[in-house]
Amino acid sequence: MNAPKPSNSPPASLPLATLLNHAADAVQAVRAGRSLNAALAACPAAARPGAQALSFHALRWLGAAQALRSQLAPKAPAPAVDALLLTALALLWPAAESRYTEHTLVDQAVDAARQRARQSAAFVNAVLRRFLRERDALVEAALRDPVARYNHPRWWIDRLKGDWPEQWQAILEANNAHPPMTLRVNARRSTALAYVAQLAEAGMLAQVAGPQAVTLAEPCPVTQLPGFAAGDVSVQDAAAQRAAPLLIGAGLPPGARVLDACAAPGGKTAHLLELAELDVLALDSDALRLQRVHETLARLGLQARSVAADAGDPKAWWDGRPFDAILLDAPCSAAGIVRRHPDVRWLRRATDIDTLAQTQSRLLAALWPLLRPGGRLLYCTCSVFKAEGQDRIDAFLQRQADAKLAANPPSPGHLLPLPDNGSEHSPLLQQAPGDGFYYALLEKT
């Protein structure tokens, strides 16, 4: 799910009122249960960058905005008007560092209301101006609600408290920060250090963040990256770049049979093939998402076999030959990458975690028999919840007598989206927060 960080500043070519309406459409869609990506895909291309920046901002501060709106208008207005109000209130929240003046925001939000639901313009104007008049008292009252204070659902906050009693507040705060745009340099073509120099020649500042990782000082469209179209570089967070080296570091020989069990969109598949000559089968249950794997590999000049199938049902796709290594990047809550996908926290429900944990356990049990003795399986999730990480592996190891944690290389375990996101076994080259992940490298005895 990694994506370039959107610009913080919507382009000036469209009126702010227009962009506010498109952003409100996206917020309304998320509150109705649709993903932000799907909502933005329906936005006109000219407005999409601006709408994306505003909707990302609104969703990062949605808890605060909802608490304010509940005080200002206890009876919720129609969803379309409510979404616009929430977007405007999120931009007006004192700590949100909006680039617009208060007068401009209110004026343009009222214009947006006239376009959206003309009869609501006076109501929107009254609510926003009352907020500005009574801001200190309203904000103080809102901050008594943890959902408003941390901008996450209450169940999410409570689960983090239980899992990470010392770090939960830092994790929540990190989730609302803008993520860095991190690149993976194709090891077949260059090095991280050489690519930093290449970026410098193009007037772009960056620094090395890992063996193949480069973090940009400012995000940019991928079309501006030197050599992107030729396959020199890809977008992938530094934490996600740990998967391929962990699996290959286990000592895979050239031509080893490797299964990438949940391969889409293909970043980890490609990284494996950049690092070694492997016979990779890329598997994914979604044929449309699997097409993205094909596109990624084609741009990088790499090849892998692919099958659209459920990894948990091997009889439907497995040829009976054991694999030397398996990468199981299991479906999860995505609780470690909410900086990049701020809608996730509002789309997930508390009951989803147990459902996902059952899926993760099912996949582990189904794929383990496909691994040869002495082979390695790397289990990973982009989640900070222990139910999707350490708890899953602890339960699996208790049930599976022929499984153990590999000693070399050792497993990083849980990586949190904090400046010390490294582990004692795999420290960071720079102290910059990466995404939240969990990694466990298992060996079959």
- Cite the active site residues: 382
Give Rg (Cα) of the chain. Answer: 23
Kindly give the interhelix angle for 350-367 and 154-163, rounded to the nearest 10 degrees: 50
How far apart CA 94 and CA 103 sit, in angstroms, is 14
Closest CA to 57 of 129, 111, 4, 6: 6
Cis peptide before 331 (omega within 30 of 0): no
